[in-house]
Structure 1
């Protein structure tokens, strides 16, 4: 037991990467002592009490076994909000914030109430990040997983966004019937079945159904894109996240679906990560 070691010694002796060790120890300081992360420096001679020390040892063991930091802490920051996360949902990632930025720009450009559909919401990350910054947005967020929706609804309550975001259970468009939207956004499973990444790192602990389509990696994207015309209003926008090497294939799917103004968008790492398209205003269905 490390009850006699200072914070400074705990960090120096920790086998985890320094940034992860600091995140985990800062969480313990906040939980047990209501201290900010800066206490790691300002009070680095502090010694943990027994309960905090036991939790610290548990955190090290769990992370050493590969469990994601977000699951250990039970939370993850995303865009401008913090979300509760658990093994039943995908851990929100920084590259997905690009989807939020694209939708927020679309809402700002329209300058009027905007209806948004978030397909496969998971923890509610995309839907809630949009709603938290865009008072003109009304959002319906869907997922086929009841466990995921329970977490998403809890996050909506914690963020006081339950009145702005509605949740529906079902597979993709089955959850919303014949409704039409100004924007459709989705980060669907796009990793191909048997991709070696599924057995590596944090992905080992995340729900497989949120990561892979158990096929080529494009089947969920194809379903979402092909159904967009039936659920977008005239000129409406669809934005989907995809794998780093799938941009050309997703563009082709949008072309085949007769969408227009198709654009590929780069994430912060310089990878093509999102493709957007619009429903042709010349078509009248769903206008």
Structure 2
């Protein structure tokens, strides 16, 4: 075992906590130890490392001990901190919502690529909004856009509204509690969704951080993982403007099945953006423009 400096210094606490986390098979134990101690002391990781011999006050040590105990019980770090970074945003999180993940940023990239003009007026919809991450990330990059986020959990919708306020986007975002699109009577240029897509029987086998501490409502995709996609595909023709697109997050290996659902609904899959791991993640689906009759000039008057 690596030796630690004596005393109650920052360096001692980090060393001891890193060893405990490593023994519990926690990924990135040293990084997580720094995150948790910085949070307990109300400072930054950089400040911790600048003075590793600084004493850890008793109250901070108690908070750190409680955080470490929770982490060893596989409570996600984001839940302990109450925050998670996503895109350019700092978002509040809670056990009522799925923690935003870097893989989901591929949907934001696909949306910005599809609508490259920043000032273009856009109407956006985020189905299963959770923390509001997807909707707010796109709104932050497209100042001409307005969006609605819908979630079946009232707690999630309230948290997303808080995140909109905290990120100065509340004037262009509205959040509602509802079952997918049943409460909506409007059309949108862009529909985003990171729906639940885990096969129900596979949930207990997920990492303990996820299986034990993230909301089942945000994970359970039904027996085959496709229940939410069926509901969304059925709703999209009535939600999208002519020429509008939907971008849906996929689980690994689900692209072909979700593309089939889209085609069965009269929509056209047009591509898929991979995440940083090379997995097909952001499926792009288009609603074709309504065919228009060609303009025929009236006969010239004689």
TM-score, normalised to structure 1's length?
Answer: 0.92
CA distance in structure 2 between the partners assigned to 1:213 and 1:12 by the alignment: 41
2:245 paired with 1:242? no
Asked if 1:226 corresponds to 2:234, the answer is: yes
Contact 2:150 / 2:178 at 8 angstroms: preserved in 1? yes
User: Structure 1 runs of 4+ off > 4 angstroms?
Assistant: 196-199
Distance, in Å, in 2 between the alignment partners of 1:168 and 1:175 is 9
Mark the CA change 1:274 to 1:37 in structure 2 (over 3 Å): closer, same or farther.
same
Q: Does 1:181 align with 2:193?
A: no
Q: CA deviation at 1:283?
A: 5.7
Write the mapping of 1:157-172 to structure 2, written as runs, cut at 5 A.
Answer: 157-172=165-180
- Quick check: 1:6 aligned with 2:9? yes
The structure with more radius of gyration: 2
What is the TM-score with the length of structure 2 in the denominator?
0.87
Alignment coverage as a number of residue pairs: 278
* Contact 2:203–2:219 under 8 Å retained in 1: no
Match of 1:217, SS state, is coil
How much has 1:59 moved relative to structure 2?
A: 0.8
Q: CA offset at residue 28 of structure 1?
A: 2.3
Give the match's secondary structure for 1:122: coil
Structure 2 unaligned regions, length at least 5: 1-5, 22-28, 293-302
Deviations 1:226-274 (A, max 9, x none): 2111111111011100101111111111222222252122111000112
Deviation, 1:111, is 5.3
* Cα RMSD for the two superposed structures: 1.9
Q: Cα distance, 1:39 vs. partner? A: 1.7
For residue 282 of structure 1, report the CA deviation from its aligned partner: 3.2
Using the TM superposition, give the Cα deviation of residue 71 of structure 1 relative to its aligned residue in structure 2, in angstroms.
0.3
Matched, 1:28 2:40: yes
Q: Return 205-214 or 113-122, whichever deviates more.
A: 205-214
1:1-287 mapped onto 2 (5 Å cutoff): 4-14=7-17, 15-16=20-21, 17-29=29-41, 31=42, 35-109=43-117, 112-176=120-184, 178-196=185-203, 199-203=206-210, 204-282=212-290
Partners of 1:188 and 1:256 lie apart in 2 by: 19
Query: CA 1:138/1:6 → structure 2, altered by over 3 Å: closer, same or farther?
Result: same
Q: CA deviation at 1:36?
A: 2.9
Q: 1 CA distance for matches of 2:117 and 2:258?
A: 25
For residue 189 of structure 1, report the CA deviation from its aligned partner. 0.3
Check conservation: 1:238, 1:278, Cα contact below 8 A. Answer: yes
